[in-house]
Structure 1
């Protein structure tokens, strides 16, 4: 079951973020305090979204780009050992309610990319990090 996260969920979601960091092998090290603060902010922000299931979470915010003033839903973190498609659908429904004209997800290939492609997402840019 997918539901809005509460403050009580934050420690468990931080643990899932740790698994996400290990899985993507990205350039940033996990700061559990900052992660917890960010998650708490998403719970209380009118532009924030944090949903959780027994096996995953998705975090997002509404922002704009320099290209357009239209609202853009940007995923900040997404981890699912199961329920990945259900979490994605919850994000999309929230984004639609917020009037987002663009939904932006990230992945490092693999299963997540296949789920996104089947859901109609396409590669628009490549993130380069240093």
Structure 2
């Protein structure tokens, strides 16, 4: 991530908000990724289709954006498998404990003026800021 890009950021935010609103208004569902994925295996037959379509759209969007000429990052920086697994487990545990993920709380919950989502969003944003501070200023990363 480098440089300030307000127009693409605003456009992306508007698209995310619009998609979340469409899912809420059209199906009465919250566009939280952990809830969409978590409910996929236990979903009733009619409830599975929208979840699969939602996930297919998430995976197809970067490819379509790149195909249309948009810059697509090369990938994530290398990390050890243990670090990736540990991080994934912590994220999974956090989404269970917090009753949702960053997209569910940060986008949908805040839009619905949920106090629980405001608290969750404040906690993960503060944790992210602390992590960056520790990495850059204490650990020398």
| TM-score scaled by length of structure 1 | 0.27
Greater share of residues in helix = 2
Whichever of the two has the greater Rg, that structure is: 2
TM-score if structure 2 supplies the norm length? 0.25
Q: Which has the higher contact order (CA 8 A, sep 6+)?
A: 2
